[in-house]
Structure 1
């Protein structure tokens, strides 16, 4: 039968339950959120029986980061209690249990659930520590057939991992459905796991943390040194090791480690999961991390009222100022952009950092090799779990590939580390890597069959870098790929996706080539972000040296590029994710269509650095404000709304919110829950547009600007913000320039103008701001610190 999920019940409204409910609602699925009935107060005073669940949901909505894409999705969540509303699960297609981690309580709840659920309804548990198969004792065959574990990671909106853990009784079609539904509809990286302690991600993740703890003690390293060694420099999150432990909860970390130690007697690295004395002491002290206000780090107020982060000294158990780590091999490696090359350099280091990296990676490689087939039959599932659940940029086997498998195995054995026999067999057969790419499709080595197998879903999503043998053109920053079916794909590899001359030239060239024999062009990037905007360093250097002719040419090139995307003779579709700010937002706004990942943070943020959007963004918002006017509506209202969005540099906190702010167009642009599908969806839309007789739009000459009538009102508002100390003098100056452009200049009456007219105004005012000292100060601050100074 064709299974659909029209309504979901979430049983338990704690931290995980409420946030899982929010994520389903964000995906457009109505949710019934239930918890225990709130007992009446002493004296029989009437109280809302749903107070427990309502308070939990309210707390979730107020939490930071937000568990919802927009506040409106909360309307899809209905609350209730187990006493009165458990019967309502009869109308749900999927029931998810997220109550306290006690087997007896879960079993009691499932006994009640079975009284009301319809046969065929999915029933899953979000447990992270209880064997899945134990939960269905005493349940019917239909219940067992439709039951499994679905382990979401916290916070569910942001961590993409969803582990699917079947029991021996789970029907195969249920697992197939959940793997597909979790990926497509919930936007998750779905990973099939075995019912082993800690499943995949926590088993390998906690091993990684515990091995780092052990190496810290052996090598005499400090917490601050470990944080420097195990963060972004090796493709891990900024929270590195100890900050991650504080966020997760040190008691949770200890619980998982003890669970592995007690329940995995055959684990060759079992002793690494033994809890160090200093960690036991932290638990005794209730220094459990963020939840108790202190753990490995502690935030305090200085005498001057500023916040300061202190680090725990594990020898004295006192907190002290953080100390910047210094390793001879670390700083040069940070300059290497390519992560695989960086890892090679780090492992080759001759100092204590190099020794740490070798021991850590040798231990990790050894451990994951021995976990097959214990926790997974497929190696790629381990990598997927670590990337999606722990935020690793590349997985353990991918890291092993990066530093060279055969060479590393030889070094590991010489240093006393073992590898699983299947790795030796793989190398002996002449297979040198765990992953290969053929015809744009990625394959992973399969130890059971001793062959390479296509990764599941490869036909459903496109990764541009997999088409390295299909490069049509490239320059220092960009690569243009033939991604099949007469469609081109462009990406660039600058830091944070910044857009400079090379990238602008690459976009122009890509469009030109697409027009000469292809159906269209997809523009997308890989890595953490689509684009953080224009190259601020280039703008600053040209401005500080007063090279205004060159600066004028640079701005013209940016404008010409976005307009080239708008008026190409073939469809141009942009597929952003992560940050899509400034110029990245402007490029998206000029595409025929946008397929944005749900987690896309987009906006015109130039006002923060003392500039106005200069790549067509100001023009485009003026154009859209004119088009926003509805019959009988005052013309200045849409303009004021658009102006405020840009003047306050509002950034959408999700792709869904980008529609509300006007960056994306309702009925045109689309949101893709799973970023892995962005490029494939964009490619599909190009083929549809082209095959249905695509006609390029005509440059606009009918944009109604309001001139002085609207300009006066905007200037009055700016003046009020300035006098009320909500805006600095320079903020006000920049806002006045923005208002001037969006109103079409100092026109005596409403006038129809062209796009080029507005682009010229935009460019002139952008250039004038580049000559302002306070703008230069802001640009310099961004270059040095990553944040603009408020002046």
Structure 2
């Protein structure tokens, strides 16, 4: 297999998808050539801007929220141009991606031009979502055909993990293997190999799921508000659930895909599900297409007093009305259950209309996916991977079937009039009870063609902690310590939002002790939607309101001591965060030997928002790092001021890359895993490398230079200026001054060298004093009640 490297990529088409695909490639450090049609000259224009269309599109993408780039500085990697003047420049590109309008004739005309300039042997792919891939290669050269493939990114490409790879019969297997690997390792995607069938995998199953829900909604006389309450996070789906998702994607897009499947899949046994309901067609006719037209299933308005209100479409009256909170006994019974798998069982067993909905929905989905094997995929796990990565499902469809019991659910489906594919009947006749199983910590899937259980493709590159239960070394009610193999252990916990309380701190100390005794090192990671929202705010609030200050002091000491144990242990500790990594979780990263962060990690010290300062060593660590960053040729105050502002404004990185700029991650030490699923395996490898290179436990620092009174006065003046400008409240001033006091080492008359423990004591005292303030308690209470702090 030839060695192939990608240094420069051409993206042809700068629409919503093209511009954002270009941004994602630029984000991983590649040079990108972004082209679109030449802008026509305006009458009387002496020097026409032929790149206006592409430049405007890129500017719009960069300004969009959420941002398509990890950091703004990667935009310099993108060069813009137009098809007439710059198509010749693709000769220097290793990969050309076509992302023009979904019309075969236009795509073919673009490929005519590509053939003139493309360097033989380079990759050429199309990002189509609806046109059969093989039709695009008609009339093309053999070299083009060998190196051509469908690469279907999902929008927004930075955030949605799915990349569908769709080869043609002419695509070289080396190209398929390369794209599957490159998409996973470098682009951070779940790469799913698809057959060249209408809508491929994710849209075929996803749009069926949505259309099925619409038909069940009609049958059971449910409202739009009912549907989004029933099909959101409660069943492991995104907050946008069903109707809100349709509004975001575009109702016309949804209808187009549904019609495409109905028209192009005559053998689909469930093609009637893709028939557009009259009310949905009416929405399209009315141009009520969702966010792009300002109204769809939902409509944002302003009330009489100027407050924003979201209205819901009443499908019977066909007018917008105030949202109604659905009331279902089944939902009320299931919501307190944190474990999704247990929750699904309760939902499907419900005795009310919600339970009826869940049975109808799951039965129709299970029936449909069973018939899609081997039509759209030979392997069941590819269907689950596509839905989790493309539609944000927390649990795949075949995985859900396993949870509910394949044998019992199939029997219930047949009784309710839903059939299954013959291979499922054979599967059960052979005595099998689940589509997936775990052996020796490895996840296996049932392979329909061989009727055997096989290991998941690429399984050695991924460590799934929840699959290692039989390798548990130690546990308490919230945490599990697993043997990851190769003399490394891994700790995870299962608290709500990954919050860090006494049980997690106990587990961290115990895990380090066990690792010091028997292993090379420790990985700390979680597999929930977020790594951790930080310390247990509820516990702090309870102790503070009850004025249990001795207990609170002990709790803060325990947190600080645990973070210091992470830093000063005789084995390497590597933390592998992803998603929200806030407050105490950020402090854990700051004290680790190395951070192996997922690219989509949002890390920050956010304590000021709840009326506190970082109290688990975060303030100390930022002070220590600012001291180490001081240079002789610049004022000593610059680095301290920068770090003070990072904490003082509760800045959270919008990516792991930005965390370098905020001084949370350390360049040359901490690393980023583009693919979130690889971060634990990468962290384990880091532990081994650090240990094998002769790890020595560091010594506690006693040489931290703090600047004392002179800089404290300067920071106080800055705080007062912010207050006069109405940027911060009266109470923000109090908190900020306490933070400044700690970071300057107190009211010292001159710069002084101090120890880490000295700073930890100052930090703890400030934290404790703020816990006694009424306004801090109000902020904590607001977070506990609403999830957001108040500005008081």
TM-score of the superposed pair, with normalisation by structure 1: 1.00
Cα deviations by residue, 1:124-148 (Å, 9 ceiling, x for unpaired): 0000010100011110011001001
Cα deviations by residue, 1:517-564 (Å, 9 ceiling, x for unpaired): 100000000011110000000000000000000000000000000000
Superposed CA RMSD:
0.6
Partner of residue 760, structure 1: 761
Give 1:377 deviation, angstroms: 0.4
Structure 2 runs not aligned, ≥5 long:
none
Cα deviations by residue, 1:327-385 (Å, 9 ceiling, x for unpaired): 01111201111111000000000000000000000000000000000000000000000
Cα deviations by residue, 1:755-787 (Å, 9 ceiling, x for unpaired): 000000000000000000000000000000000
Partner of residue 456, structure 1: 457
* Inter-partner Cα distance in structure 2 for 1:466 and 1:228: 30
Cα deviations by residue, 1:23-42 (Å, 9 ceiling, x for unpaired): 00111111110111111101
Partner of residue 94, structure 2: 93
Cα deviations by residue, 1:457-493 (Å, 9 ceiling, x for unpaired): 1111111111111000000110000110000000000
Cα deviations by residue, 1:620-639 (Å, 9 ceiling, x for unpaired): 00001101112221111100
Partner of residue 538, structure 1: 539
**Equivalences for 1:227-626 in 2 at 5 Å?**
227-626=228-627
Give 1:44 deviation, angstroms: 4.5
Note if 1:782 corresponds to 2:792.
no
TM-score of the superposed pair, with normalisation by structure 2: 0.99
Partner of residue 142, structure 1: 143
* Inter-partner Cα distance in structure 2 for 1:195 and 1:553: 62
Partner of residue 121, structure 1: 122
Q: Decide whether aligned partners of structure 1 residues 44 and 650 sit closer, same or farther in structure 2, where only a CA change above 3 A counts.
A: closer
Partner of residue 710, structure 2: 709
* Inter-partner Cα distance in structure 1 for 2:362 and 2:520: 45
Partner of residue 44, structure 2: 43
* Inter-partner Cα distance in structure 1 for 2:227 and 2:465: 34
* Inter-partner Cα distance in structure 2 for 1:708 and 1:44: 62
* Inter-partner Cα distance in structure 1 for 2:121 and 2:439: 40
Partner of residue 211, structure 1: 212
* Inter-partner Cα distance in structure 2 for 1:220 and 1:99: 41
* Inter-partner Cα distance in structure 2 for 1:544 and 1:331: 30
Give 1:454 deviation, angstroms: 0.7
* Inter-partner Cα distance in structure 2 for 1:630 and 1:196: 61
* Secondary structure of the corresponding residue to residue 42 of structure 1: coil
* Inter-partner Cα distance in structure 2 for 1:718 and 1:437: 57
Partner of residue 657, structure 1: 658
Cα deviations by residue, 1:192-236 (Å, 9 ceiling, x for unpaired): 001101000000000000000000000000000011000000000
* Inter-partner Cα distance in structure 1 for 2:170 and 2:433: 38
* Inter-partner Cα distance in structure 2 for 1:92 and 1:439: 44
* Inter-partner Cα distance in structure 2 for 1:23 and 1:57: 12
* Inter-partner Cα distance in structure 1 for 2:57 and 2:404: 47
* Inter-partner Cα distance in structure 2 for 1:540 and 1:571: 34
* Inter-partner Cα distance in structure 2 for 1:342 and 1:93: 48
**Equivalences for 1:68-83 in 2 at 5 Å?**
68-83=69-84
* Inter-partner Cα distance in structure 2 for 1:427 and 1:335: 33
* Inter-partner Cα distance in structure 1 for 2:760 and 2:582: 19
* Secondary structure of the corresponding residue to residue 34 of structure 1: strand
* Inter-partner Cα distance in structure 1 for 2:43 and 2:368: 56
Structure 1 runs not aligned, ≥5 long:
none
| Count of aligned pairs between the two proteins | 791
* Inter-partner Cα distance in structure 1 for 2:89 and 2:171: 24
Cα deviations by residue, 1:729-775 (Å, 9 ceiling, x for unpaired): 11110000000000000000000000000000000000000000000
* Secondary structure of the corresponding residue to residue 151 of structure 1: strand
* Secondary structure of the corresponding residue to residue 417 of structure 1: coil
* Secondary structure of the corresponding residue to residue 236 of structure 1: coil
* Inter-partner Cα distance in structure 1 for 2:585 and 2:440: 30
* Inter-partner Cα distance in structure 2 for 1:26 and 1:456: 27
* Secondary structure of the corresponding residue to residue 329 of structure 2: coil
Partner of residue 747, structure 1: 748
* Inter-partner Cα distance in structure 2 for 1:446 and 1:678: 27
* Secondary structure of the corresponding residue to residue 133 of structure 1: helix
* Secondary structure of the corresponding residue to residue 159 of structure 2: coil
* Secondary structure of the corresponding residue to residue 101 of structure 1: coil
Give 1:45 deviation, angstroms: 3.4
* Secondary structure of the corresponding residue to residue 44 of structure 2: helix
* Inter-partner Cα distance in structure 1 for 2:290 and 2:538: 38
* Inter-partner Cα distance in structure 2 for 1:272 and 1:29: 43
* Inter-partner Cα distance in structure 2 for 1:87 and 1:4: 21
* Secondary structure of the corresponding residue to residue 109 of structure 1: helix
* Inter-partner Cα distance in structure 1 for 2:575 and 2:528: 16
* Secondary structure of the corresponding residue to residue 395 of structure 2: coil
* Inter-partner Cα distance in structure 2 for 1:59 and 1:112: 27
Give 1:430 deviation, angstroms: 1.6
Cα deviations by residue, 1:96-142 (Å, 9 ceiling, x for unpaired): 00001100010011011001111111100000010100011110011
